[in-house]
């Protein structure tokens, strides 16, 4: 069972840590999203960041393979037949990503364990933007 009190404490610590950095260092935060993304991995950090944006200038970019809506729907439909998921609208595509990100958040979820070929464009973007050339395989 999830301990909500502990989760709120963690969110508060994240917000406090980011508050120390934000004024001088962090202005633009990006999120990678993909089909089957874990909602908590998106909403958990966004909650304290939303609060922080009330006292510091922050920008948020949502990045996906295309700018088409992306859902958190399970990759395998549930046996119950439930259709229950969230939809996100990316602000940027991998082909036209924001150029001035200070932080890139890469969530997990069933979609992060999908076929490697489905995720290759994401790997390529992260490697090109954030991995030094001498470290690339």
For the chain, domain boundaries: 4-135
The predicted structure's pLDDT at residue 13: 56
pLDDT in tens, 100-109: 898 899 988 8
The predicted model gives 121-131 an average pLDDT of 86
Nearest-angstrom CA–CA distance, 92 and 123: 16
pLDDT in tens, 37-72: 988 989 988 988 888 888 888 999 999 999 999 998
The predicted structure's pLDDT at residue 15: 57
Secondary structure of residue 6 in the 3-state scheme: helix
Nearest-angstrom CA–CA distance, 115 and 117: 5
* 4 pLDDT above the threshold of 50: no
């Amino acid at each position: 069972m999830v301990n909500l009190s502990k989760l709120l404490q963690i969110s508060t610590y994240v917000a406090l840590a980011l508050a120390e950095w934000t004024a001088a260092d962090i202005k633009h935060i990006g999120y990678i999203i993909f089909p089957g993304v874990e909602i908590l991995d998106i909403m958990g950090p966004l909650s304290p960041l939303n609060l922080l944006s009330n006292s510091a200038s922050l920008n948020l970019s949502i990045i996906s393979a295309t700018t088409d809506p992306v859902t958190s729907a399970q990759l395998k439909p549930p046996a119950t037949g439930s259709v229950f998921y969230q939809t996100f609208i990316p602000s940027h595509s991998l082909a036209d990503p924001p150029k001035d990100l200070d932080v890139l958040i890469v969530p997990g979820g069933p979609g992060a364990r999908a076929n490697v070929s489905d995720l290759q464009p994401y790997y390529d973007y992260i490697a090109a933007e954030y991995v030094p050339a001498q470290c690339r395989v």
